[in-house]
Structure 1
């Protein structure tokens, strides 16, 4: 059995986290002007990251639950919260103006027909696929039970 140091463990996940940290720092206000607001492409990439993390948490929860039920339940809860975050990013994506056409018709998520082109195609298809997993593994009651609200 090979022992791993924390720096050696999960190098790709560590690299993804470093990329997110770098992007967060790049969005911070600077002397060169105010930061730009999110655009559709930005939210598409963020949604891809969230749904990939969602898949990872799903697998971790399933493999952790048999030997460690309490930890597995916590990971399943995190899985639900991550789905809620991805769902909100998807909704925000559709609230931003489209580069091609103005109006709500162009921004609507239409799974019954081909969307107007990238990045709509990627985010909507990805969101629908992740939604199928959520519906198979999470009840509507679970989703409502894990909704958080500010208590201020």
Structure 2
């Protein structure tokens, strides 16, 4: 279900990011033999999840005062997205390191730092937000049942 664009869209890049994910997920559904995940894929997915995490944090904070129930649901989604990002981060570190190319590639000399540190820095930064707003119990609580009635 999609909604039509509004003139006062507060998050103009969200629609483009969603389209980008659909574009990249489409080959996965049609591939005859899917390729296993690689570090660059998990790094990009982690970046998207942490950006979504920040967006949900902002939306929960701004929505909660006028609409407490909706703000609560967005805060729960914020926690679940953190859990997904944490799992992707852990998966990133369980993949084997790429073989060094003989072309003299030196990721430790990249301006943004080695890729493994970039994903960890992003993860630590997102972790500060989640620890500020949730408890350890919230992070381990299973997802609650659907509590609203959906109408068509």
TM-score with structure 2 setting the length: 0.77
1:44–1:93 contact (8 Å) kept in structure 2 = yes
Give the counterpart of 1:7 among 5, 30, 36. 5
Gaps of 5+ in 1: 102-116
Q: Give how far 1:143 is off.
A: 1.2
Which residue does 2:86 correspond to in 1?
87
RMSD (Å), alpha carbons: 1.9
Partner of residue 142 from structure 1, selected from 126, 138, 143: 138
Question: Which deviations, in whole Å up to 9, do the C-alpha atoms of 1:107-146 show, x marking residues without a partner?
Answer: xxxxxxxxxx63201110000111111111111111122x
Residue 61 (structure 1) shift = 0.2
Matched, 1:122 2:118: yes
Measure the CA separation in 1 of the matches of 2:99 and 2:90. 18
Aligned equivalents of 1:49, 1:122: Cα separation in 2 = 14
1:47 aligns with 2:46: yes
Q: Tell me the SS of whatever aligns to 2:29.
A: coil
Counting matched residue pairs gives 127
CA contact under 8 A between 1:87 and 1:127: conserved in structure 2? yes
Give the structure 2 partner of residue 28 of structure 1: 29
Q: CA deviation at 1:39?
A: 0.2
Partner of 1:19: 20
User: Unpaired runs of 5+ in structure 2?
Assistant: 101-112, 145-152
CA distance in structure 2 between the partners assigned to 1:26 and 1:39 by the alignment: 16
* TM-score when normalising by structure 1: 0.77
